[in-house]
Amino acid sequence: RSVKDVVNFAKMNNLLGVIIPTELLLLGDSLIDEIKASGLLVIAGRSSKSETNESSLWNHPKINGIKNNRFLRFKDQNNEFLT
């Protein structure tokens, strides 16, 4: 499946957002901008096996949350992760 299909599915089924693999989000802000323009939250999906540099996503102002194998964390209105 493509990201476009996932975004369309989320919009058609009134979902709040989509979980996108971290590797794709690290390719550039244009993907994040397109998803956000659709009115969806952007969640960075992490894997415990992933060795990519994800620290930039933790502080990225356009990312609404982070998901790994154990938890899903969202940011508050101050762009800080809720504990």
Distance CA 58, CA 78 (A): 13
Residue 73: what pLDDT? 86
pLDDT of res. 55: 65
Entry pTM: 0.81
Q: Any residues with CB less than 8 A from the CB of 58 and at least 6 apart, and which?
A: 66, 81
With beta carbons less than 8 A apart as the criterion, state whether 7 and 35 touch. Answer: yes
Low-confidence ranges of the chain (pLDDT < 50): none
Cα 68 from Cα 34, distance rounded (Å): 23
How many CB atoms neighbour CB 62 within 10 A? 13
**Token couple for 24:** 């794709």
What is the pLDDT at residue 47?
59
